[in-house]
Amino acid sequence: MEKHAAFIFILLVTCSLQTIAQPLATTVVGELDSGLGNTSALFYWENRLWTSNDHGNLTLHCLDTLTAATLQQVGCDTSFNDMEEVAQDSVYFYFGDFGNNHERLRNDLRILRMRKSDLTRGLCRFDTIAFTYSGYDPAGAGARRLPTTDYDCEAMVAVGDSLFLFTKQWSSRHTTCFALPKEPGTYTALPRFTLDVDGLVTGACHTARITPEGTRQVLALCGYSLLLQPFVFVMYDFDGTAFDQGHHDRLALDRPIGTQTEAIVSADGLHYWLTNEAFSRFGISQPAQLLSIDLSTLLGDYLRPDSSHAAVPSLTGEMEEEPAVYPNPTDGTLTIDLPDAEKLEVLDSTGRLLLHSDASHTLDLRDLESGTYLLRITTRQGNVVSHKVVKQ
């Protein structure tokens, strides 16, 4: 998104910080490459994490989930006005070119649909889903100095046969969910409901899990307050696409002012990645970063309803007894000293599972190439903790 220098300055002068008890712990995975200062979208597909900037020709960056470094780039000769979100279903990616912070006259709101199989071949072929909003009169639009519109949008998910857009409402700090078909054509997006999220919504992701009790769904929004302090807004325990009918939790993140979160994604509904743009104004400076959060404490019982998975703590290691992992670095056998360890897994930087062992306290890494890996330990109580390990 664009920087809103005058607007942010006024807010910093006139607003005071909210006192929020115990904000959610956030891990900084790493700084993004300098070319990703305007990161706006995240998606996770085939064990790989991707992001892109919000304008200009589309270039997708595959990120190392351990360091945030760019592992691969796929460029497309397709230019966007303000591309703020990527959603996906089993066949397609949906690129949302619908950002409009200052309510400029945009008669070109669109979502570009691309087959997922094309990404593996480095192809960029798009269908167009064009739309307008029900109830919006573009005749009054103009390049406004301060953002005030209720028809900006930076968040979208694909669920069932529809796309669901979540607006970024600058004055009310609410969000309205609009729905439209996900087939090529020209449509009017219809409002479904409005939520008071007390902030500016900038990203969305949807996950679903099949359990013995039925399908469990989570819809998570990310955004930031008027003082650029990030939050996530989580919706769960709803039926179908009645996202507003379940439980809602707004969680502030423990990041400083200037953390302009722009995108959120999850592979399992419990562990999430977010990105924030680079921000430098009024003596506040934050680099573009890849962040991670763990919502297992909030959602563990819901997504894993059997008691053996209850009360899963933070992925960063909030356990009664921390495991000793040695030697680290190692050139061969890795020992994990934790009596309750039930499962050991080694993943590469893209999240691909390389090794696993049940009811063991050692792993043989000799066949792995030299590099940094993620060791994930699950205990008999269902607790999960992760460590970075280095294979020499």
Number of domains into which the chain is organized:
2
Beta-bridge partners for 42: 51
Helix (H) or strand (E) holding 379: strand 371-379
Tell me 9's DSSP state: H
Q: What is the pLDDT of residues 283-337, one digit of tens each?
A: 888 999 999 999 999 999 898 775 333 333 333 333 445 578 888 888 888 888 8
Cα(203)–Cα(266) distance, integer angstroms: 12
Q: What is the pLDDT of residues 184-196, one digit of tens each?
A: 999 999 999 999 9
Q: Is residue 65 part of a domain?
A: yes
Q: Which residues have CB under 8 Å from 2's CB, separation 6+? A: 101, 102
Same domain, 239 and 181: yes
Same domain, 345 and 383: yes
Q: Taking the CA of residue 181 as centre, how many other CA atoms within 13 Å lie in the half-sphere pointing to its CB?
A: 9
Q: What is the pLDDT of residues 48-61, one digit of tens each?
A: 999 999 988 899 99
Domain carrying residue 341: 317-391
Burial code of 318-352, b = ≥16 C-beta within 10 A, e = fewer? Answer: ebeeebebeeeebeeebebebeebbebbbbbbbbe
Which has the closest alpha carbon to 291: 27, 24, 25, 23?
A: 27
Q: Is residue 311 part of a domain?
A: no
Cα(40)–Cα(55) distance, integer angstroms: 9
Same domain, 249 and 135: yes
Cα(98)–Cα(167) distance, integer angstroms: 10
Beta-bridge partners for 335: 326, 362
pLDDT at 350: 61
Higher pLDDT, residue 18 or 65 = 65
Cα(221)–Cα(242) distance, integer angstroms: 15
Same domain, 237 and 91: yes
The answer to whether 148 and 141 have CB atoms below 8 angstroms apart is: no
pLDDT at 383: 67
Write the single-letter amino acid at 297. T
Same domain, 321 and 293: no
Whether pTM exceeds 0.85? no
Q: Is residue 312 part of a domain?
A: no
Cα(142)–Cα(353) distance, integer angstroms: 51
pLDDT at 318: 39
Higher pLDDT, residue 262 or 378 = 262
Q: Taking the CA of residue 45 as centre, how many other CA atoms within 13 Å lie in the half-sphere pointing to its CB?
A: 21
Same domain, 294 and 339: no
CATH number of the CATH domain containing 239: 2.115.10
Same domain, 297 and 322: no
Grade residue 388 by pLDDT with cuts at 50, 70 and 90. confident
Same domain, 222 and 258: yes
Same domain, 125 and 198: yes
Grade residue 381 by pLDDT with cuts at 50, 70 and 90. low
Cα(179)–Cα(101) distance, integer angstroms: 20
CATH number of the CATH domain containing 381: 2.60.40.1930
Q: Is residue 270 part of a domain?
A: yes
Q: In angstroms, how far apart are the furthest CA atoms of the chain?
A: 68
Cis bond leading into 327, ω under 30°? yes
Instruction: Compute how many other C-beta atoms are within 10 angstroms of the C-beta atom of residue 215.
Output: 10
Q: What is the pLDDT of residues 338-368, one digit of tens each?
A: 777 788 888 876 667 888 887 678 888 888 8
Cα(323)–Cα(337) distance, integer angstroms: 5
Q: Which of 252, 270, 303 marks a domain boundary?
A: 303
Order of strands across the sheet with 271-276?
27-31, 289-294, 271-276, 261-266
- Match 């893209």 to its residue by tokens: 350
- Dig out the tokens for 242 from the structure: 């009645």
Same domain, 295 and 336: no
pLDDT of 199 higher than 50: yes
pLDDT at 205: 97
pLDDT at 391: 87
Beta-bridge partners for 191: 178
Same domain, 179 and 325: no
Q: Is residue 310 part of a domain?
A: no
The answer to whether 164 and 213 have CB atoms below 8 angstroms apart is: no
Helix (H) or strand (E) holding 76: strand 70-80
Q: What is the pLDDT of residues 101-148, one digit of tens each?
A: 888 888 899 999 999 999 888 888 999 999 999 999 877 777 778 888
Helix (H) or strand (E) holding 193: strand 185-196
Q: Is residue 357 part of a domain?
A: yes
Same domain, 171 and 254: yes
pLDDT of 69 higher than 90: yes
Q: What is the pLDDT of residues 265-289, one digit of tens each?
A: 998 899 999 999 999 887 888 999 9
